Structure 1
Amino acid sequence: MTSERWPTELRLAKDKRTLSIAFNDGTAFDLPAEYLRVTSPSAEVQGHSPAERKTVPGKRNVEIIGVEPVGNYAVKLVFDDMHDTGIFSWDYLHKLGIEHEEKWQSYLDDLAAKGLSRDR
């Protein structure tokens, strides 16, 4: 699968808590590490079907400690909790940017419904 959307800039903030990405279509996003960790496209988080999707608590202070290219279509993010199995395609990162508010609220709602916290 190829994308016509390509990143023109990808930058990890000095505090390792925000990944900034700009695309050739003019869109740009600052994506928090916590948001990226809890929406990781990995099987550990997403499961193998929507029914298996996990709500990951306790990641408020997570940092990104590595950004590794995967071919010319994605990056693998390494988090300080050692999660490193998600491959973030350019399309997926763009979608996370576009849908940030909606996805973040859904995550917060899931935490509340399950009695979980961003801190533990």
Structure 2
Amino acid sequence: MSAWPTEIRLAKDRRTLHIAFEDGASFALAAELLRVESPSAEVQGHDPSQKKTVPGKAEVEIIGVEPVGHYAIKLSFDDMHDTGIFAWDYLRELGEHAQEKTQAYLDALSAKGLSREPVRRR
């Protein structure tokens, strides 16, 4: 593990997770990115070919942050997804590559004719 977090804080609007590491690196991770890149098998599958493109999460919020041992946190989202365990290294990777991962997500949505916007029920 490259660096341990020194602070993990959920923004008041529940749409950004702030994480700072002992080496001085800090990131503001969007809830949408965390949700669509969840390390859960539901999203990632069991190999790269099974990764799902999750639409409709532009407004998703984080409703829970729970520690998992000394190595990770479990995030719960308002769409009831709560099976991803976010290890410190994975959070660091998401922070360092957020722009590229977000663009890859947007490209995948576009290629599949999907939208970031949630489906509105009438």
Take 2:110 and 2:57, find their aligned partners in 1: how far apart are those partners?
Answer: 15
For residues 41 and 119 of structure 1, the distance between their equivalents in structure 2, rounded to whole angstroms, comes to 22
Counterpart of 1:94 in structure 2 is 92
Task: Please point out which of 76, 82, 87 is paired with 1:84.
Answer: 82
Q: What per-residue deviation string (whole Å, max 9, x for no partner) do you get for residues 15-34 of structure 1?
A: 10000000011110000100
Structure 1 segments (4+ residues) deviating >4 Å: none
Q: CA deviation at 1:5?
A: 1.0
User: What RMSD, in angstroms, separates the aligned Cα atoms of the two structures?
Assistant: 0.6
| Distance in 1 between residues matched to 2:22 and 2:32, nearest whole Å | 25
1:4, distance to aligned residue in structure 2 (A): 3.9
- TM-score, with structure 1 as normaliser: 0.97
Percent identity between the aligned chains?
70
* Alignment pair present for 1:55 and 2:53: yes
SS at match of 1:93: helix
- C-alpha distance in 1 between matches for 2:106 and 2:117: 12
Alignment of 1:4-83 (within 5 A): 4-83=2-81
Once residues 24 and 91 of structure 1 are traced to their aligned partners in structure 2, the CA distance between those partners, rounded to angstroms, is 13
Q: Letter of the aligned partner of 2:73 in structure 1?
A: V
Aligned residues: 118
Structure 1 gaps of 5+ residues are none
Distance in 1 between the 2:40 and 2:74 partners? 10
Q: Which structure 2 residue ranges, 5 or more long, are not aligned?
A: none
Distance 2:66 2:76 in 1: 8
Matches of 1:27 and 1:107, distance apart in 2: 24
